[in-house]
Amino acid sequence: MDGRHARDCGIRETRCREGNLAPDYGGKSGPTGDATDSYGTIFVMWRAVSILGVSVASNGHAQLSFAGQGGKSYDIQATDTLFGAQWSKAGAVVAGTDGRFQFEDADAPEHPIRFYRTAEQ
C-alpha cells in the first residue's frame, strides 16, 4: 500500500526501512539479533466512513447519510456495476464537526442500479 490509505478497510500501512515489510520486534533487534535487522510495519487506524442510511426521495434522487471524521472532505463516487467497475465522482461533501454528512444524487433516476463509495480528499 506504500503509505496510501486503504479506504475500504480503514487502515494505512507505512513501509519502513527501504520498502521492506517485516514484523515489528518492539524496538528490539530482529530475528538474527543484529540491530540492523530490525524492521517494523506501522498501521495507523482511523475511523472509517460508515453508511447511516440510504433512501430514495419522491423525485427519484438517492439520499445517502454517512458518518466519518469531522471536518474532512469526501468525494462520493458511483458506478452502475461492480464487475469491472468504472468509478466516477458523483459529488463532494465536507463532514460536519460531528463527522456526519449527507449526499443527494440527482443523477440516480438515470441509473436503474447504482453503487456508491467514499474517498477521503
User: Is the whole-model pTM more than 0.75?
Assistant: no
Q: Give residue 41's pLDDT.
A: 65
| 71-92: average pLDDT | 95
pLDDT in tens, 41-66: 666 555 689 999 999 999 999 999 99
pLDDT in tens, 15-43: 444 444 444 445 554 455 555 555 566 66
Q: Which of 76, 71, 9, 69 is nearest to 43 (CA)?
A: 9
Residue 113 pLDDT more than 60?
A: yes
Cβ neighbours around 75 below 10 Å, total: 16
The residue ranges of every structural domain in the chain are: 1-46, 50-120
